[in-house]
Amino acid sequence: MSTLTRRQFTKVLGLGAAALSVPIHVIGQAKPKVVVVGGGAGGATAARYVAMNSKGAVDVTLIENSKTYTTCFFSNLYLGGVRDFDSITHSYDTLASEYGINVVHGYAAEVDRSAKTVTLNDGSSINYDRLVLSPGIDLIFDSVPGYSEEAATIAPHAWQAGPQTQLLKEKLDALSNGDSVVMVAPPNPYRCPPGPYERVSMMAHLFKEKGMTDSTITIIDPKPKFSKQGLFTAGWEKHYPGMVEWISPDIHGGIVGVDVNAGTVETDFDTFEGTLLNVIPAQRAGAIAHQAELVDNSGFCQINSDSMRSMVDENIFVIGDASIAGAMPKSGFSANSQAKVAAMHILGDVNDGKTFPAKYSNTCWSMIGTDDGVKVGAQYASVDGKIASTSTFVSQGDEDDAMRKATFEESLGWYDGMTKDMFG
């Protein structure tokens, strides 16, 4: 004889309630199957919203290679010693236990669009009625001559959070006063536009906290300008005078290559030497988007701006960094917002869900120094077939300390809300 725990009893009740809400035409048939590839800001959110809003009427599978997820957002705060690694690492357990999502830890290698299956590296296949691809980015290592996956063990990119982030942290912590860092910043388009510059801020913060005020950070940038540039440069001057130097392509003339063993970055103008190199190469959509032939010449995926549906295959939604989302930056917040639009349309397709005009949001907070937060963001809508901003905002240069502190505290609240919205 078995007895029910309180949690099991609650789940039985929940399933009963769910059964009552299943559309009549679905009763007696197999549940619609939604498969989500990628358990990050886009994929975890999409899986959760489809499962939550279908109340058990849709079978949701989330395929993610990693057992836990470390957020890229706030990983710079970990590098700066402001957050610990555990605080930016999250479990998928609640998505499975509370939302009934079938979480499969494996590498999704192949999509067969005509058979509507996803095949994992272990050879197993999963059928879908609708597929969400949220694979994030792949790094184009050779976009920086001399850089490679192997070279990244010496000069970490840390642009996909996890072991690379920990490796960069270890190397930063091993530096001494007077040592230097040279960052090779990525070309557009790339994940998290303000990210490299927040990272530099947090590196400088770490050095300042350790009394390493003779250390320097040099950014070799392939771009002539960058996100929140005025706010960052003013912040560096205020908090870390003389420690940070940004070198634009007008000055260096172009990045020729890196030698990670020698610790050098060669440009047309000069060769820059660092005790530690942080190389962030160019990026493209994750491999499975290429295998499924959903990408265009840009290396990313065109989507319908009303729904985040692939322009190539109406049964597939591409969200997050892998998509070409018009005016929206590649950010965790954007991916989370796009996931809700996709989830709504998926439920419209398979569960008679109501659909409404898409609204998208993004805010990127960046920490320049302790209690010095800045932000940029916008609201977006589908306009003439593209995602266009309808209202924008950015922190002002003349804000007082109290405002900057409030913005930083706001970012802490956002992180809490965002990760609950992803993982339950």
The contacts of residue 352 (CB under 8 Å, 6+ apart) are: 23, 25
Residue 422 beta carbon to another protein: minimum distance, rounded to whole angstroms = 9
Q: For the CB of residue 115, give the shortest distance to another protein in the complex, in Å.
A: 32
Tokens at 226, concatenated: 């960058």
CA–CA distance, 77 with 198 (Å, rounded to integer) = 9
Instruction: Confirm if 387 and 326 have CB atoms less than 8 A apart.
Output: yes
Task: Please say which residue, 273 or 421, places its beta carbon nearer to another protein.
Answer: 421
Instruction: Please count the other Cβ atoms lying within 10 Å of the Cβ belonging to residue 382.
Output: 19
CB of 198 to another protein, least distance (A): 18
Nearer to another protein, 117 or 389 (CB): 389
Our CB check for another protein shows the closer of 277 and 319 to be 319
What sections of 247-291 are H helices per DSSP? 249-252, 287-291
Which residue, 282 or 347, has its beta carbon nearer to another protein? 347
Q: Which amino acid is at 415?
A: Y
Which range in 91-99, 175-183, 299-307, 336-344 contacts another protein by CB under 8 A?
336-344
Our CB check for another protein shows the closer of 72 and 204 to be 72
Binding piece for another protein, criterion CB under 8 A, among 98-106, 240-248, 269-277, 331-339: 331-339
Q: Does 21 bind another protein (CB under 8 A)?
A: no
Closer Cβ to another protein, 119 or 355, answer by number? 355
User: Closest CB to another protein among 278 and 395?
Assistant: 395
Number of residues this chain uses to bind another protein (CB under 8 A): 36
Distance in Å, CB of 197 to another protein, minimum:
20
Contact (CB, 8 A) for 102 and 35: no
Task: State the Cα–Cα distance between residues 232 and 257, nearest whole angstrom.
Answer: 26
Asked if residues 280 and 152 have their Cβ atoms less than 8 Å apart, the reply is no
Residues 371-390 that bind another protein (CB under 8 A): 375, 377-379, 381, 390
Give the phi and the psi of residue 14 in degrees, each rounded to 5.
-60, -40
Structure tokens belonging to residue 15: 């399933």
CA distances, 262 to each of 74, 154, 238, 244, 266 (Å): 30, 10, 32, 22, 11
Q: Which two tokens stand for residue 255?
A: 């990045």
User: Can you tell me which of 27, 211, 356, 398 binds another protein, judged by CB under 8 A?
Assistant: 356
* Among positions 1, 354, 398, 401, the unique one binding another protein when judged by CB under 8 A: 354
User: Smallest gap, in angstroms, from Cβ of residue 183 to another protein?
Assistant: 29
Contact window for another protein (CB under 8 A) among 107-115, 249-257, 293-301, 410-418? 410-418
Question: Which DSSP string corresponds to 20-74?
Answer: HHS-GGGTTSPPPEEEEE--SHHHHHHHHHHHHHHTTSSEEEEE-SSSEEE-STT
The reply to whether 84 sits near another protein by the rule CB under 8 A is no
In angstroms, give the least distance from the CB of 393 to another protein.
4
Candidate list 98, 110, 129, 410; residue touching another protein; CB under 8 A: 410
**Token representation of residue 218:** 């040099």
Does the footprint of another protein cover residue 416 (CB under 8 A)?
A: yes
Ramachandran bin of 361, using left for φ above 0, alpha for ψ from -120 to 50, beta for the remaining angles: beta
Measured from the CB atom, the residue of 183 and 418 that comes closer to another protein is 418
The Cα–Cα gap between 225 and 222 comes to: 9
**Should residue 330 be labelled a site residue for another protein when binding is judged by CB under 8 A?**
no
CB of 16 to another protein, least distance (A): 22
312: phi then psi, degrees, rounded to nearest 5: -95, -35
Alpha helices in 34-174 (DSSP H): 41-54, 75-79, 93-97, 163-173
Site for another protein in 26-55 (CB under 8 A): 49
Cβ-Cβ contacts under 8 Å for 80 (sequence gap 6 or more): 201, 202, 203, 205, 206, 367
CB of 347 to another protein, least distance (A): 10
> Considering the complex, what minimum distance in angstroms separates the CB of residue 79 from another protein?
22
Residues 154-173 that bind another protein (CB under 8 A): none
Query: Nearest distance from residue 18's CB to another protein, in Å?
Result: 17
Sites of contact with another protein (CB under 8 A):
49, 333, 336-337, 340, 344, 354, 356, 359-361, 363, 375, 377-379, 381, 390-395, 406, 408-414, 416-418, 420-421
